[in-house]
Amino acid sequence: MKAVELVSIGQLTLVEKEKPSPKKGEVLLKIMACGICGSDIPRTFVTGSYHFPTVLGHEFSGEIVALGDEVEESYLGRKAAVFPLLPCNQCEFCQSGNYAQCTNYNYFGSRTDGGFEEYLAVPVFNLVLLEDQVSFEEGAMVEPATVAQHVVNKAQVTLGDSIVIFGAGPIGVMVAQWAKINGAGKVLLADIDQTKVDFAKELGFEFVCNSGEVSAEEFIKETLGGKLADIAVEATGSSAAFDQCVQSIRAFGRVVLLGNPHSDMTLKQKTYDQFMRKEGTIVGMFNSVYDKIPKNEWRVTAQAIADGSLNLSPLITHKVPIEELIAAFDMVHEKKEFYNKVLMVHEDLL
């Protein structure tokens, strides 16, 4: 089967490798779609993976085409997305169902081979079954959409809240969608890339600004009738956006940290002082909730896509076969053209 391996920093290679066989408790997934995540770019071109070679890709979906021992026949032929974290099931966090905090986890697409290949053996535990009306492309976006849902849940967005999201990339737009689903009163987006600003407006978001050209704080006040936001989300991983988030909230407001930083995150002294006076709250978040208790955020995402309340298809700007995946990585890395969500898809979906 074909796979794209990261063989060294900056070098992706299309290879032929042996098709896996599912073991006990696993299924064989025919990969139908896999997304390039923002984190895949520094992993490929800057930091490298945990080992070489590695097949990247943790945002993927596919069709179950074979079953390992002790797997129910009803799984055969089903569509599924995949929770990419492989927990140890031994540590205190796994025992309490907080798998994202596992102290000895594995991970598809970084610590072990992921979705940028034609087939992958996946434990039944990690399967998120999809309804027939959910496309494979939408299925590949369940992972980032669930992370976005987790942001809104951690932020405790409730009816009438105002929320501003710094970063109008795929994850920021998904956070905005979830905020609307949760009943937010006003949802604002800010980005320094005008093409992202324009794209967000095309998607139907009314309150979007280029924070590199106008004051985000003034934009928020103009939009909210002189008030600041209840919640701000940092979705870029930059100090400038972090500082703007802290400036953007009202007294007792909340800041949620989502973006992956690639350098130190700092606050201006004045901003720090203002935040203390506001008695604001900074909330960290990582990954998602994947458990039956109190709820499985992945199943909530899958249902929201199935019933149409979460609309992800317009975010997809590029679909390429596995043979063109390396060129797609280069396009994203070098920003050769505008993109939002880039997917590797099976040839049947082209």
Reported as a single tens digit per residue, the pLDDT across 294-319 is 679 999 999 999 999 999 999 999 99
The full set of domains in the chain, from first to last, is 2-129+312-349 (3.90.180.10), 146-284 (3.40.50.720)
Q: What is the mean pLDDT of residues 276-282?
A: 97
Reported as a single tens digit per residue, the pLDDT across 167-222 is 999 999 999 999 999 999 999 999 999 999 999 999 999 999 999 999 999 999 99
pTM reported for the whole predicted model: 0.96
**b or e along 246-273 (b: 16 or more beta carbons within 10 Å of the residue's beta carbon)?**
bbbbbeebbbbbbbeeeeeeebeeebee
CB 232 within 8 A of CB 246: yes
| pLDDT of 293 strictly over 70 | no
| Neighbour tally for 90: CB within 10 Å | 11
Mean of the per-residue pLDDT values of the chain: 96
Q: pLDDT grade, residue 43 (50/70/90)?
A: very high
| pLDDT of 292 strictly over 80 | no
CB 34 within 8 A of CB 140: yes
Q: pLDDT grade, residue 291 (50/70/90)?
A: confident
Cα–Cα distance for residue pair 58/83, rounded to 1 Å = 8
